[in-house]
Amino acid sequence: MQAEPILSYHNIDRSSAVDDLGHRRIEMPERHHDRITGREVTLEFASSRHPQASSI
């Protein structure tokens, strides 16, 4: 028995498009591994800013 996937969000707003993308990504491993019983995925917006080193 498979449980419903758990989608969580970090630095991103929830929308139907983001939900659809998450569910499509979850289905990919299930095509090859039929014994997966649970899925938990965190969707995160990658920041384009890199931390700067402090100058001395």
Query: If DSSP codes are grouped into helix, strand and coil, which group holds residue 22?
Result: helix
The pair of structure tokens assigned to 52 is: 């700067």
How many domains are there within the chain?
1
- The span from the CA of 5 to the CA of 2, in Å, is 9
What helix, strand, coil percent values describe the chain, rounded to 5? Answer: 25, 20, 55
50 domain-assigned: no
26 domain-assigned: yes
31 domain-assigned: yes
- The span from the CA of 53 to the CA of 8, in Å, is 31
24 domain-assigned: yes
Give the domain range for residue 31.
6-44
37 domain-assigned: yes
Determine the pLDDT at residue 1.
Answer: 45
54 domain-assigned: no
55 or 30: which leads in pLDDT? 30
Determine the pLDDT at residue 55.
Answer: 58
- The span from the CA of 16 to the CA of 5, in Å, is 15
Q: What is the pLDDT of residues 3-51, one digit of tens each?
A: 788 888 888 888 898 888 888 888 777 777 777 778 888 888 877 666 6
pTM for the whole thing? Answer: 0.56
